[in-house]
Chains A and B, each alone.
Chain A
Amino acid sequence: MPHIEIVGITKVYEQPAAPPIVALDGVDLTVEHDQFVSLVGPSGCGKSTLLHLVGGFISPSTGEIRIDGRPVTGPGPDRGIVFQNFALFPWLTVRGNVEYGLAEKGIPRRERRKVAQHFIDMVKLTGFEEVYPHRLSGGMQQRVALARMLACDPQILLMDEPFGALDAQTRLILQEELKEIWRQARKTVLFVTHDVREAVFLSQRVVVMTARPGRIKEIVDTDLPADAPRLAVDALAEDIWATLREEVLKAVVPGDRREQAP
């Protein structure tokens, strides 16, 4: 049985004093257990919306999402998420944020500390444990969000441009880390990115979406062998970019993307 089934999903945002927005229009996608799938598409095409639907935070206008065959009715700790705007708890320190889910699971304090520290070290925030989020840069906050999700060890990772605010070097390091975690811990990942190379490097399949209303334009198999030469990655990325480019040109970029909901 597939891990995630997205069946005939349409999402229309009703607005009080404006015409409704059709964010997604007839999306079907099946993700197998332990698969790493990336979503790429122009800004505003509904990538975040799709992730929020799978997370169970919002409900579809039509269609159904199933996890292990059971319809999604709401959020749950089986599906961890890194929001596009990080959504850290501002009243908790870095450590408090990363320990949060562990505490809710009832894991004892010492164990919690140890696990949290492991992930804080992994995202290179050692020394910032007692700092509150407002004192961190965007990239640092994003890494806290990543650590917070990973510490909870969910089976499904929903990641909305989780490396978008990072500098190139940290980004490369964390891409490797994520790939390693995925390889070892066997996670199912739904990963949104604007970086086609990143998508090809990390995932087994890349889903290219159309400009709004978001539909699936093409699904590209990118399951390269671990020792695939750089050139192979580049060539695939080049192909996907060619497809994506048309859609990006179609989409009118509406202002600053960071101003939108998560």
Chain B
Amino acid sequence: MTTIRFYLPLFLSLVAWQAAVTAGLAPAEMVPAPLAVFEGLWRLLRGGELLRHVGVSMYRQLAGFMLAAVIGTALGIGMARLEGVRLVFEPLLKLLYPLPKSALIPLLILWFGIGHNSKIFAIFLGCLLPVVLSVYNGSRGIPRWLVWSAQSLGTRPYRLLWKVYFPATLPDLLSGLRIGLALSFTLLVSSEFLIARAGLGFLIQSVGEMGDYAAMFAAILVVALIGFAADRLFVRLMARALRWQEP
């Protein structure tokens, strides 16, 4: 029922869109109709081209995202627990926060070349901030009696991090990561727009330049679908990891 309620409006707009183009209300060469887009999608799929680009993009996306998750968690907890770490990183993060990370892409390409690394780093930077900030805020607010409980139950100081700080911060970590996930797609595509030899951003750009708007729409659709699926999956995993929380 909820599935129908979710997908029905989408389906209806597709029908309306198709009807509008067929009736000549919108120029077909600039707004390809859904059927033409599906045909474009089929063309991209058949050649194996699409899968190759998806593979390249997913690799970059996952690498940047994972890197941000690990380093962001460590940095966030470190900042909350160690004054020195906070003093060094807080000004840096405050400066980086309002900066649109895509502005750094040309610079990153200069530093890391036009291959994977510049893209991975752009995604990493974009995801890092929401993760660090939410982990930092989360681990500052850990009730002290949870730490006390652990200590009086024999937890060694170095194990507190894993046994108390990490689980107590998990809700914040995951919500930071979810924001990072959405940002990572933006950075992925925009970094691949600028200079790239492969990837979904590159694909959108290159078929667009060739005037194949149906294929271009198809590639955009693929990005949207991957982003949507990734978010859904993430929400599922999140609910599972946080099933101990009050609803």
Contacts and interface: CB of A to CB of B under 8 A. Distances in A.
B245 A134 contact: yes
A91 B168 contact: yes
Interface in A115-168: 132-134, 148-149, 152, 154
A100 B153 contact: yes
Interface string A17-60: 00000000000000000000000000000000000100101000
Top-8 shortest CB links A-B: A101-B153, A77-B154, A75-B151, A87-B145, A91-B167, A132-B244, A104-B154, A134-B246
A262 interface: yes
A262 B145 CA distance: 7
B146 interface: yes
A52 B244 CA distance: 28
A104 B159 contact: yes
A87 B148 contact: yes
A104 B152 contact: no
Interface in B156-205: 156, 159, 163-164, 167-168, 170
Given A57-B148, A89-B146, A134 B244 contact: yes
Contact of B244 (A90, A105, A261): A90
Contact of A90 (B151, B152, B154, B245): B245
B152 A81 contact: yes
Contacts of B246: 134
B145 A85 contact: yes
A89 B151 contact: no
16 contacts: A55-B152, A57-B148, A74-B151, A76-B151, A76-B152, A81-B148, A88-B149, A89-B146, A89-B150, A90-B245, A104-B154, A104-B159, A134-B245, A134-B246, A154-B152, A261-B145
Given A87-B143, A132-B244, A152-B153, A75 B148 contact: yes
Interface of B: 143-146, 148-156, 159, 163-164, 167-168, 170, 243-246
Contact of A91 (B149, B153, B159, B170): B170
Given A83-B145, A132-B244, A104 B155 contact: yes
Contacts of B163: 104
A92 B152 CA distance: 17
B149 A89 contact: yes
Main secondary structure of the interface of A (DSSP, over half): loop
A148 B152 CA distance: 11
Contact residue range for chain A? 20 to 34
Interface of A: 52, 55, 57, 74-77, 79-81, 83, 85, 87-93, 100-101, 104-105, 132-134, 148-149, 152, 154, 261-262
Contacts of B243: 132
Contact of B148 (A55, A92, A100, A152): A55
A157 B190 CA distance: 61
B151 A91 contact: no
Contacts of A79: 152
A81 B153 CA distance: 9
A152 B152 CA distance: 10
Contacts of B146: 87, 89
B113 to A, nearest CB: 43
A172 B41 CA distance: 73
Contacts of B244: 90-93, 132-134
A158 B154 CA distance: 15
B167 A89 contact: yes
Given A90-B244, A104-B159, A134-B244, A77 B148 contact: no
Contacts of A149: 153
